[in-house]
């Protein structure tokens, strides 16, 4: 058999939520096509995590086979910011195109004579990568915009104003897009993002009619419901702007979602992209299961889970995690949640991996440790926890990676959304599919504490206080153990199973992957 001759370049900003599904797609592609290799340009921030993901998700035999065709190259080391352009991308790209040696800074391995890439799958937030490829006519290759979120979010944050987007309509004109592209070369603090164009918020009179977000196929929400929490992020506010610009400058789009999850939003997204000349491909879920032959090394967590299952039975534990980045802006509401769980003798694990959790109260950690039913972890083996028989529910911010992992483990969700695509995910799963719960009283900030459309004329008026959080958690614990909880669990399980079938022969994910490879790799 001749050596692989077709190289696909992968690159995303150093954010795990963007990178993790890329790893799954790289595995799926190399499994399907022995003639293809994948080259993933990354940094030291995520290199070890990427390698751990591959080694833990593949059997020893398959890792040995695929590692010669999935090349992960750290070009910058660990001292990089996700909000700054990666200066080392350009030289690495040029070296790849010239089949020159590239040395990985983390492993010190040198990759030599790799075939030049034929297509690049690039995070639209990595505008520097788009610009370098566009500025290199000799080695210009098609760029596919990597959307690691559902289609409904793409429409809201990147799409056209005609479909309910926050994007300035001028971006859909040649002059507007050209001007926006120039603007992306400014320092992040200088970019006039959409939120900076809006007038300062003011208190609305009692007769004020809140504007409803109108995105095809999504549950009706007030526009302010997309901002359920105080924004703690000072950096990265220009990322939606970059995404909107460079999705439009791409040659195609991969959307990490499928029509099972969001039929109408996916249809509308594909129709819009087709109108502006961008072929699009729905590929999901993108979360690799662990081989059954592997044993997890986190023995402390496993011992705790085994003990909880023995004492309380299967599906008894609530896992709480807001990912590696997000964290509740009002920690007193998290304390209220934990206190309610302890008072009701409901077992739980709290993961506090976010850098925003650095000031977690010592008293809270002490209470968890002394409770006998709680475990606090600064880093948690999330998929190990989700796949354990003791785990029954997952309180999550609602990041798309966490949702896909939950589908794989069949553990239903309780949402505590913070921002980005999370409010959409909570609404789609909770309101459309009836396959999740959502905590409401935990909302914060001026937008987060405004009325919610779903409660109009119901008599329920959230107050968003600590006492209201405690009362809501008390009600929730009754709901998840009752008939409603059983219905939600069943709906979530069925939805996850239906999504996974997307990778079967003849189904959406498999067919669209084949179409992508046919057009951009095989040139047919």
Angle between helices 466-480 and 483-500 (to 10 degrees): 80
372: its two tokens: 């006998």
**DSSP designation for 379:** S
The confidence score (pLDDT) of residue 188 equals 41
**DSSP designation for 126:** -
State the CATH class of domain 6-141: alpha beta
The answer to whether 450 and 230 have CB atoms below 8 angstroms apart is no
The answer to whether 385 and 391 have CB atoms below 8 angstroms apart is yes
The confidence score (pLDDT) of residue 503 equals 96
The confidence score (pLDDT) of residue 379 equals 86
**Which stretches in the chain have pLDDT values below 70?**
1-2, 186-208, 232-237, 291-297, 358
Q: In 1-78, where does DSSP find H-type helix?
A: 16-32, 47-57, 60-66
Residues whose CB falls within 8 Å of the CB of residue 519, separated by 6 or more in sequence, listed in order = 252, 279
The confidence score (pLDDT) of residue 157 equals 92
CA 71 to chain centre: 23
Q: Do domains 6-141 and 299-500 have the same CATH topology?
A: yes
Calpha distance 6→521 (Å, rounded): 7
pTM: 0.92
The confidence score (pLDDT) of residue 227 equals 92
The confidence score (pLDDT) of residue 190 equals 42
299-500 is a CATH 3.40.50.2000 domain = yes
Provide the 10 A C-beta neighbour count for residue 296. Answer: 15
Q: Where are the domains of the chain?
A: 6-141, 299-500
The confidence score (pLDDT) of residue 292 equals 61
Calpha distance 260→503 (Å, rounded): 12
Calpha distance 493→485 (Å, rounded): 12
Q: HSE on the CB side for 301, CA within 13 Å? A: 24
């Amino acid at each position: 058999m001749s050596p692989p001759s077709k190289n696909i370049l992968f690159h995303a900003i150093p954010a795990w939520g963007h990178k993790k599904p890329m790893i799954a797609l790289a595995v799926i592609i190399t499994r399907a096509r022995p003639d293809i290799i994948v080259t993933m340009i990354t940094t030291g921030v995520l290199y070890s995590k990427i390698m751990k993901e591959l080694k833990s998700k593949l059997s020893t035999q398959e890792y040995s086979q695929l590692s010669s065709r999935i090349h992960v190259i750290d070009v910058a080391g660990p001292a990089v910011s996700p909000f700054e352009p990666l200066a080392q991308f350009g030289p690495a790209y040029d070296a790849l195109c010239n089949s020159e040696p590239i040395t990985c800074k983390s492993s010190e391995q040198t990759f030599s004579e790799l075939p030049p890439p034929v297509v690049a799958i690039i995070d639209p937030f990595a505008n520097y990568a788009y610009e370098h490829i566009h500025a290199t006519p000799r080695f210009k290759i098609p760029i596919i915009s990597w959307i690691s979120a559902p289609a409904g979010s793409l429409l809201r944050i990147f799409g056209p104003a005609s479909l309910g987007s926050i994007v300035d309509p001028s971006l859909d004109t040649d002059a507007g897009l050209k001007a926006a592209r120039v603007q992306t070369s400014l320092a992040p603090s200088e970019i006039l993002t959409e939120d900076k164009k809006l007038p300062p918020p003011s208190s609305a009179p009692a007769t004020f009619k809140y504007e409803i977000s109108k995105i095809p196929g999504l549950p009706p929400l007030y526009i302010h419901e997309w901002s359920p929490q105080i924004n703690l992020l000072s950096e990265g506010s220009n990322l939606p702007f970059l995404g909107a610009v460079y999705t439009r400058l791409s040659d195609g789009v991969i959307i990490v979602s499928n029509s099972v999850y969001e039929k109408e939003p996916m249809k509308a997204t594909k129709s819009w992209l087709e109108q502006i000349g961008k072929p699009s491909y729905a590929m999901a879920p993108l979360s690799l299961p662990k081989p059954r032959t592997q044993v997890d090394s986190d023995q402390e967590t496993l011992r705790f889970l085994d003990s909880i299952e023995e004492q309380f039975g299967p599906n008894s534990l609530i896992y709480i995690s807001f990912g590696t980045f997000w964290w509740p802006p009002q920690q007193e509401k998290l304390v209220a949640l934990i206190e309610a769980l302890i008072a009701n003798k409901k077992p739980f694990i709290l993961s506090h991996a976010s850098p925003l959790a650095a000031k977690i109260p010592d008293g809270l950690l002490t209470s968890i440790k002394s409770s006998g039913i709680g475990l606090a972890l600064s880093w948690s083996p999330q998929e190990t926890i989700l796949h354990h028989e003791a785990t029954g529910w997952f309180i999550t911010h609602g990041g798309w990676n966490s949702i896909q992992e939950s589908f794989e483990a069949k553990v239903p969700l309780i949402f505590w959304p913070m921002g980005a695509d999370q409010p959409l995910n909570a609404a789609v799963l909770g309101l459309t599919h009836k396959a999740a719960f959502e905590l409401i009283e935990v909302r914060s900030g001026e937008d987060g504490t405004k009325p919610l459309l779903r409660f109009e004329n119901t008599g329920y008026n959230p107050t968003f206080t600590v006492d209201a959080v405690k009362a809501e958690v008390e009600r929730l614990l009754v709901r998840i153990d009752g008939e409603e909880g059983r219905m939600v669990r069943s709906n979530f399980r069925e939805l996850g199973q239906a999504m996974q079938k997307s990778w079967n022969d003849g189904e959406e994910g498999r067919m669209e992957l084949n179409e992508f490879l046919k057009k951009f790799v095989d040139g047919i």
